[in-house]
Amino acid sequence: MKAHLFCTLPGMLASPLEAGVLKKARETGALEVFLHDLHELSPDPHRKADDCPYGGGPGMVLRVDVVASALESAFDVDADRVRERMPVVLLTPQGRRLDQDLVRSLADEESIAFICGRYEGVDERIREHLSSLEVSLGDFVLAGGEIAAAAVLEAIARLLPGVLGNVRSLEEESFSGPLLEYPQYTRPASYRGWEVPEVLLSGDHGRVRRWRAEQAVQRTRGRRPDLLAEEGEHEGEE
C-alpha cells in the first residue's frame, strides 16, 4: 500500500513511522509512506497554509488552495479527481468513527491519502471537493490530524500481508468478531500475590479454550454490551 499524508507538521510523524509495526511494514515493503508538507507545497509566497475565517471568529483555517495544490503536485491530476483514484481521508472529529470494519476496508486499498487538519479546522471546500471520506478517532478534539492519521495507519499496517509475525493474533483479537478478547497473562505465574488463573497453567487445552470463550463473553457483556446487541440484530440476516 502507498500512503500519502498531507499535513502541516510532518515532523510529528517521524517517530511513529520509525518504530514498531509501521517501521516493520515499511521495511517489508508492505507499506510505502509519502509525507507531503503543506507549508512547503503552499502556493503562498510566505508558505502559509492557513488564514483567518470568513465571517470572523477565533483561530485559523486550513486553506483549500494549499491542500489542492499539494494534491496536484503529488498526483499530477486535478485535485478533485484524486478521490477517483484512491480514498482521500479527511481526519476530522466530525467524521465517521473509526472501527475495525473501516480499518479492514481501508487495508484493501492500493493507495490512500490522508489530509490532516490543524488550527481551528479546515475550509469546508476541502471536505466538499477534495476528500472522499471523513474519519474521526472518537468524540474528542485533537490539535491536529497527524496523530489521528498515524493511528489509522498503524491499524491498517498490522493487517497488511507479512507485517505481523503471527496472523492468529488478528483472528482472535477484539473486534475480529462480536466479542472482546479474553484476558491474557504471561510470566511470572505469581507476582506479589497476584496470581494467574489456575486453568491457564493446567495444560488442559480444552479447559483453556472454554475458559477463554466464557471470559470473552463476560468481558463483552460487562464492558461493551452494545456489541452483543448489534450481533443479535444481525442474527437471521442473509
Ligand X SMILES: C[S@@+](CC[C@H](N)C(=O)[O-])C[C@H]1O[C@@H](n2cnc3c(N)ncnc32)[C@H](O)[C@@H]1O
Contact footprint for ligand X (CB under 6 A): 91-94, 116-118, 120-122, 136-138, 140-145, 148
C-alpha dist (Å) from residue 161 to 31, 153, 155, 165: 10, 14, 13, 10
Shortest Å, Cβ 120 to ligand X: 5
Instruction: Closer to ligand X by CB, 12 or 164: give it.
Output: 12
Instruction: Closer to ligand X by CB, 142 or 179: give it.
Output: 142
Shortest Å, Cβ 180 to ligand X: 22
**Nearest to ligand X by Cβ — which residue?**
117
Q: Which residues contact 7 (CB under 8 A, 6 or more apart)?
A: 13, 35, 36, 37, 38, 114, 115, 116, 118, 144, 145, 146, 149
Instruction: Closer to ligand X by CB, 12 or 228: give it.
Output: 12
Instruction: Closer to ligand X by CB, 156 or 163: give it.
Output: 156
Shortest Å, Cβ 181 to ligand X: 24
Cell of 56: 470572523
Angle at CA of residue 6, ends 98 and 56, nearest 5° = 85
Shortest Å, Cβ 53 to ligand X: 10
User: Is the separation of the CB atoms in 116 and 90 below 8 Å?
Assistant: no
Shortest Å, Cβ 146 to ligand X: 8
194: phi then psi, degrees, rounded to nearest 5: -95, 110
Cell of 84: 477517483
Instruction: Closer to ligand X by CB, 84 or 124: give it.
Output: 124
